[in-house]
Amino acid sequence: MLNIPMIGATALLMLAGCAMADDEQWDGAPRRGSGAYQEGYRDGYREGYRAALREAARGGDSNFPSNSGIRIRRALYGDSVHYCDFGRKLQAEANGKSSYEFEVNNRLCGDPARDTPKRALIEYSCGNRPVQRVEVGEEQRARLYCPW
């Protein structure tokens, strides 16, 4: 058995540390800011981005646009002065579908303008396509459609 003085053991450990690559830590992981660390970060970012795109294409909940059907942007019912917003209700019923029809009447969100003809204004999109605007009179059927 070798009997190495304490100073010699410290020097040996220091030499072993010098033999490591400049961009590694004691545990073998890349040192933050090193080329290997940055490359790993970029690879992880790319893979996460691709996974989000795949999820969006399947119609999952993502911030990435996809062709996953109707997306209601705005829905109002009333006249030019008095109106109500039925956007959330329509989103719950129509979002994600390829088409959706409904009757335009006071059941959408009440009667915002009594004894006055009313109209529904709906703005929606289909995936990455431009926003579409539909305007339908009271007691008529509105049809929203996303061609695949």
pLDDT tens digits, residue range 18-40? 444 555 555 566 676 777 767 76
Q: Is the pLDDT of residue 13 over 50?
A: no
Q: Per-residue confidence at 68, pLDDT binned at 50, 70, 90?
A: confident
Residue 105 has pLDDT above 50, yes or no: yes
Buried b (16+ CB within 10 A) or exposed e, 29-54: ebeeebeebeeeeeeeeeeeeeeeee
